[in-house]
Every structure is written in C-alpha cells, then in structure tokens.
Amino acid sequence: MASNKTRVIARMDRVVNDFVARCRYFREPMTRGRAKMFVMQHRLNTRQRNSVLKLKVATNCTDWDTRIRIIQACSEEVIADHEHGGGRPHWQILEDLGVRIGLDRAAIRRARPLPSTRLCWAAWEGLMANRHWLEGIVANTCAERANIPGYGKGRIRKAGWFGLERHRWGRLFKLSDDELEFFELHEAADIAHSNQGWRAVERFAKQYHMEDAVVAACEQNLNVWEHYLDGIAAAGDQLR
C-alpha cells in the first residue's frame, strides 16, 4: 500500500486490517459444511446487496460518475459480468461452484436466508439506505477490500480473503483454479470495485467533513460482516 495515502485512508485500512485479523471465519479451518452454507447464503446475500442495498447508495449519490460506477458494479454482480465473468452474474458463478462441491442446484435455489443473514440485511439497510452516500459507498466496498492482499497476517495477507478461500477450497474439494473461478474473478473484480469506494473517500471525505463518519461506517459495516460470517460458520457446522 502506498505510503503517501491520506490519513483517512490509513485509518480505514487499519479498520479493515483489524477485521481480517480478528474474524473467526478466516482463522478457523474451512469445512465442507461451512463451504456449502457459504454458497447457499452468499448467493442470496450478493443478490440482496447488489439489487437492493447498493442501489440505495447509488440513488443517494450526488456525484454522477461515482453513481454510474456503483450501478455498473451492481450490474456485473447481478446481471452480467463481461469483464471478469464471461458474461455471467456472480451469483450464478457461485451456484456453479456449489454444484462442484456436491450441492444439488435445486437445493441451492431453495435455500432461505438464515436468521443471522436476515439480521445483517436489516442492519445494512440502516447503514446504507438512510445515510450519506459517502458512508454508503464505504458500506458497499469495505468487505471487498478484504480481498485485496495486504491486510491481516499469513496467507490472507499474501493473497487476500478470496485468495485464501481459493487455496483452502481447492485442498478440501480437490478443485482446480479454473473450477474455483468464483474466487479468482473476485481478486480482480474486487480490486476495481473497492478502489471506487476508497477513491471516493479520498476525494470527498475531507471536503464534506466526514473523515470520522467514514471510519465509523467502515467499523460498523465490518462488524455486520463478521456477524454474517459467524452465522454461516455456526449453521455450516450443523450440516453434514
């Protein structure tokens, strides 16, 4: 990470670093049950976030270019990603991965959000729909930020969150990098998506006197992400 970054960016990076370092989901071993639950919940979560929550942030955004980029990123997630995903939406690529690890496609589609997932959606609604768009864009991008190498320790620091997942899912299920494309494509897509958020903070936080607010938004949103992942782990541990 560049050493000439502004103070507010350095503070946000510290918050992401703390999240990556403490989150049990990253530190505890991946299991078949957790991986299966991740597919079922994250397919729903990515649809909810990108067709509902992030669009509320776009609606509130007063900077035209930023607003269009948010909509563009959402469209890659839920409609078609021509840049990284061969024209498929990300939730569908995740569905294909679910089939490869032994889930039945109909069962993936039947899955309902866990109570913990629903609680997170309600929390994010509060942190995204009715806030200043600059806090909203931090909410949109702070978890994707963890996919960028440089946060936490060990493999996640070297490869980012989804680089870590690609490694451990590959070992657990004997899948090739091609078969783990969901994680691989995010390593590129998320650098682009999360850079939008960090760049907007760099451009606007000082001007809007919102440096403390964006750092607080980053903390609160990542606390919700931690709850979401803990919920997946707990429910995944009940699966066979």
- 42 vs 131, beta carbon nearer Fe ion: 42
Is residue 14 a contact partner of residue 220, using CB atoms and an 8 Å limit?
Answer: no
- 91 vs 204, beta carbon nearer Fe ion: 91
Is residue 197 a contact partner of residue 137, using CB atoms and an 8 Å limit?
Answer: yes
| CA trace torsion 215, 72, 228, 41 (10° rounding) | 180
Please name which of 134, 145, 121 lies closest in space to residue 217, comparing C-alpha atoms: 134
CB of 79 to Fe ion, least distance (A): 12
- 72 vs 213, beta carbon nearer Fe ion: 72
| Contact window for Fe ion (CB under 5 A) among 74-82, 148-156, 164-172, 211-219 | 74-82
Residue nearest to Fe ion (CB): 90
| Contact window for Fe ion (CB under 5 A) among 1-9, 11-19, 75-83, 219-227 | 75-83
CB of 78 to Fe ion, least distance (A): 9
Please name which of 234, 218, 238 lies closest in space to residue 19, comparing C-alpha atoms: 218
For residue 44 the two structure tokens come to: 């729903």
- 97 vs 233, beta carbon nearer Fe ion: 97
For residue 59 the two structure tokens come to: 């609606």
| Contact window for Fe ion (CB under 5 A) among 84-92, 104-112, 121-129, 154-162 | 84-92
Please name which of 240, 197, 225, 178 lies closest in space to residue 9, comparing C-alpha atoms: 197
| Contact window for Fe ion (CB under 5 A) among 83-91, 98-106, 112-120, 165-173 | 83-91
Secondary structure element (H or E) that encloses residue 162, with its range = helix 161-173
Q: What is the x/- site pattern for Fe ion, positions 4-43, by CB under 5 A?
A: ----------------------------------------
CB of 222 to Fe ion, least distance (A): 17
Q: Please list the residues that pair with 88 across neighbouring strands.
A: 81
- Collapsing DSSP to helix, strand or coil, 88 comes out as strand
* Residue from 54, 90, 131, 132 in contact with Fe ion (CB under 5 A): 90
In whole angstroms, give the CA distance from residue 164 to residue 6. 28
- The footprint of Fe ion (CB under 5 A) covers 77, 90
